[in-house]
């Protein structure tokens, strides 16, 4: 059997402003057989997307092909003329991008975009293409397939858009699909649904695929062969089973190590109480907060309700939940960026003003915020010494030599060399920028650090290093952390307390070990079971469970009464769960679950 796609000694370079070439892909070769899924795995900068795009004869602006061939059915696509390339793209090779939200044109209907390529290439008439699209919507289990085509991208959810992207790619029945991190931007519960539909559709259509990702656990579910890449070179190339179970290369083992184990009891950090004092470092009581104009103590859209969380000194509280559950809102209320409508925020046992503007400089100094995107949080026109020097001067009044020394200490704290003081943010890598972002918050010598998804945008190895750094800082300085993430494994590996938020309510909270072992709140169980495991066949098993069938890929809806998880819960009791606010059940010590089910029922 001859290969569908042969990548043969492919070399791609970047041309800079001085017309110099820097190699990005350094002689990569692999094959894709008909009906096979080949995964390209590596960190950012490994060249995986660049290689994948070459199968469409395309390079990102600034890159160019330097050598080698990419043959589809034996014919080189790199040397193809523009007209022929257009015929190839979308028809024989189709591309699925990472962020469907950005790759769908907001001004055109979904139907037009799904069928566009097929109709333009003359493969089908518009009517035939529309019918084909509807069939695909059904196969991908999208809601309301008859009318979906007439809707606009902003009218459907992120997970649905990602599947619509698959429909776009599959519409013209291509020979090869190129999937570029198609599930990375999704919540775990959405991810497994999307993975499942991708997998079944690929099997049904008999298509081959190149699957680009940095996530080894996802790859294990879907790939036949795995190509491990580092800095534009192949490190390891073998069957999925072999690479996952017996990695032969050192780099693959490092990748495996960085895959955080699925959350389970026993991983939670036990932190010492040496820094502890009488009152918690930060506490919120009976919080009610939301957006829009506040009238009679209630905002137009209420996000957080009845939230009670205490952060002890030197401890880390992980806040977990899907997007739309109010995690960032909680951090913004704590920081004073969003004043709460009702309830209190207490620092060291003393009530804080709800709004940032009314808090004293001393109070501001004690609570610092680390934003998700270091790229946008750091001013690109300021050098690192200025970025770090500003809070040092503002909060501690240090100037001149003293300030310079303190900036040096901060760089040392986040394990960056002193020379970085004179650099601009754009000269740093993603992980280094995130360290500067962290150092900027530490410059105030805070007592509580609010970390909002600080490692979500980082590669697994870089992210793991940042977590190690956070652990060391916690030990050294006794600073407390509020650690927000949608990734349960990350939270489990760092936090000693976990707060599970769903639709603005705390559904479960307690020590990490207690939250990650039964009894679970049904939502916690769903989250835990949705985290992909690094073994082949996990996906199929999981989709069979009761939780998955009731709860995956649904939108989070805020409710005024009853339990917000009602519509996704496999054990919901009609008349009770949707009507009455669930009671807070103390399980053991500080572990509590907010659910109508009794402890005996949990045990079942």
Binding site for another protein (CB under 8 A): 53, 56, 58, 85-91, 94-95, 97, 99, 102-108, 116-117, 120-121, 151-152, 154-155, 168
List, in order, residues 6 or more apart from 245 with CB less than 8 Å away: none
What does each C-alpha distance from 327 to 289, 324, 439, 452 come to in angstroms?
A: 12, 8, 23, 8
Closer of 155 and 590 to another protein (Cβ): 155
Closer of 180 and 385 to another protein (Cβ): 180
* Structure tokens belonging to residue 525: 């169980």
What does each C-alpha distance from 145 to 108, 134, 555, 581 come to in angstroms?
A: 17, 6, 18, 36
Report in angstroms how near the CB of residue 59 gets to another protein at its nearest: 11
Question: Coil, helix or strand for 60?
Answer: coil
Report in angstroms how near the CB of residue 74 gets to another protein at its nearest: 20
Closer of 212 and 414 to another protein (Cβ): 212
Distance CA 343, CA 506 (A): 15
Question: Coil, helix or strand for 458?
Answer: coil
Phi-psi category of residue 141: left, alpha or beta, with phi > 0 → left and psi -120 to 50 → alpha: left
Report in angstroms how near the CB of residue 19 gets to another protein at its nearest: 14
Report in angstroms how near the CB of residue 152 gets to another protein at its nearest: 4
Report in angstroms how near the CB of residue 25 gets to another protein at its nearest: 18
Closer of 106 and 397 to another protein (Cβ): 106
Distance CA 369, CA 440 (A): 9
Report in angstroms how near the CB of residue 94 gets to another protein at its nearest: 8
Closer of 117 and 221 to another protein (Cβ): 117
Question: Coil, helix or strand for 558?
Answer: coil
Q: Which residues pair with 65 in a beta bridge?
A: 12
Report in angstroms how near the CB of residue 493 gets to another protein at its nearest: 32
Distance CA 604, CA 602 (A): 5
| Nearest residue to 332 via CA among 363, 362, 303, 311 | 303
Asked if residue 511 lies in contact with residue 589, where contact means CB atoms within 8 angstroms, the answer is yes
Closer of 205 and 224 to another protein (Cβ): 205
The CB density around residue 154, as the number of other CB atoms within 10 Å, is: 9
Q: Which residues pair with 510 in a beta bridge?
A: 498
Asked if residue 104 lies in contact with residue 161, where contact means CB atoms within 8 angstroms, the answer is yes
Closer of 151 and 254 to another protein (Cβ): 151
Closer of 92 and 196 to another protein (Cβ): 92
Report in angstroms how near the CB of residue 118 gets to another protein at its nearest: 9
């Amino acid at each position: 059997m001859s290969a569908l796609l042969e990548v043969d000694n492919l070399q791609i370079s970047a041309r800079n402003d001085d017309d110099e070439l820097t190699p990005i892909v350094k002689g990569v070769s692999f094959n894709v057989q008909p009906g096979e899924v080949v995964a390209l795995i590596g960190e950012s900068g490994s060249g995986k997307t660049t290689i994948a795009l070459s199968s469409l004869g395309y390079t990102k602006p600034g890159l160019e092909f330097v050598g080698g061939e990419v043959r589809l059915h034996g014919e080189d696509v790199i040397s193809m003329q523009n007209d022929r390339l257009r015929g190839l793209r979308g028809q024989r090779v189709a591309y699925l991008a990472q962020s469907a939200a950005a790759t769908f044109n907001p001004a055109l209907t979904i139907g037009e975009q799904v069928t566009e390529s097929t109709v333009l290439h003359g493969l089908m008439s518009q009517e035939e293409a529309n019918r084909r699209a509807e069939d695909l919507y059904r196969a991908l289990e999208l809601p309301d397939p008859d009318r979906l085509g007439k809707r606009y991208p902003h009218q459907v959810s992120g997970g649905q858009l990602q599947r619509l992207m698959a429909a776009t790619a599959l519409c013209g029945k291509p020979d090869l699909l190129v999937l570029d991190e198609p599930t990375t931007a999704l919540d775990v519960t959405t991810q497994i649904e999307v993975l499942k539909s991708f997998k079944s559709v690929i099997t049904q259509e008999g298509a081959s695929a190149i699957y680009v990702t940095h996530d080894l656990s996802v790859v294990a579910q879907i790939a036949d062969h795995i190509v491990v890449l580092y800095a534009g070179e192949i490190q390891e190339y073998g069957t999925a089973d072999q690479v996952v179970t017996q990695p032969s290369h050192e780099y693959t083992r490092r990748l495996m190590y960085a895959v955080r184990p699925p959350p389970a009891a026993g991983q939670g950090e036990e932190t010492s109480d040496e820094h502890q004092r009488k009152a918690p470092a930060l506490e919120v009581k009976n919080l009610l907060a939301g957006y829009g104009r506040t009238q009679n103590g209630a905002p137009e859209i209420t996000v957080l309700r009845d939230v009670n969380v205490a952060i002890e000194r030197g401890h880390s509280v992980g806040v977990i939940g899907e997007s739309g559950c109010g995690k960032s809102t909680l951090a913004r209320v704590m920081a004073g960026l969003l004043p709460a409508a009702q309830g209190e925020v207490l620092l060291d046992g003393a009530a804080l003003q709800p709004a940032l503007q009314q808090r004293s400089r001393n109070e501001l100094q004690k609570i610092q915020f680390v934003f998700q995107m270091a790229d946008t949080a750091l001013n690109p026109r300021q050098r690192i010494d200025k970025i770090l020097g500003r809070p040092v001067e503002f909060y501690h009044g240090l100037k001149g030599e003293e300030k310079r020394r303190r900036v040096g200490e901060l760089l040392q704290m986040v394990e960056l060399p002193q020379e970085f003081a004179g650099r601009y943010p754009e000269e740093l890598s993603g992980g280094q920028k995130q360290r500067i972002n962290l150092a900027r918050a530490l410059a105030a010598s805070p007592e509580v650090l609010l970390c909002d998804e600080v490692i979500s945008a980082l590669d697994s190895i870089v992210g793991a290093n940042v977590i190690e750094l956070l652990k060391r800082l916690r030990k050294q300085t006794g600073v407390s952390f509020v650690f927000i993430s949608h990734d349960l494994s990350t939270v489990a590996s760092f936090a000693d307390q976990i707060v599970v938020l769903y639709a603005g309510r705390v559904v479960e909270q307690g020590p990490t070990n207690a939250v990650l072992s039964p009894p679970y709140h049904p939502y916690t169980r769903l989250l835990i079971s949705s985290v992909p495991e690094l073994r082949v066949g996990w996906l199929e098993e999981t989709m069979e469970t009761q939780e998955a069938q009731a709860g995956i890929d649904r939108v989070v809806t805020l409710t005024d009464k009853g339990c917000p998880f009602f519509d996704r819960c496999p054990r919901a009791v009609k008349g009770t769960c949707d009507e009455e606010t669930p009671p807070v059940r103390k399980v053991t010590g500080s572990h509590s679950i907010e659910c109508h089910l009794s402890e005996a029922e949990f045990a079942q």
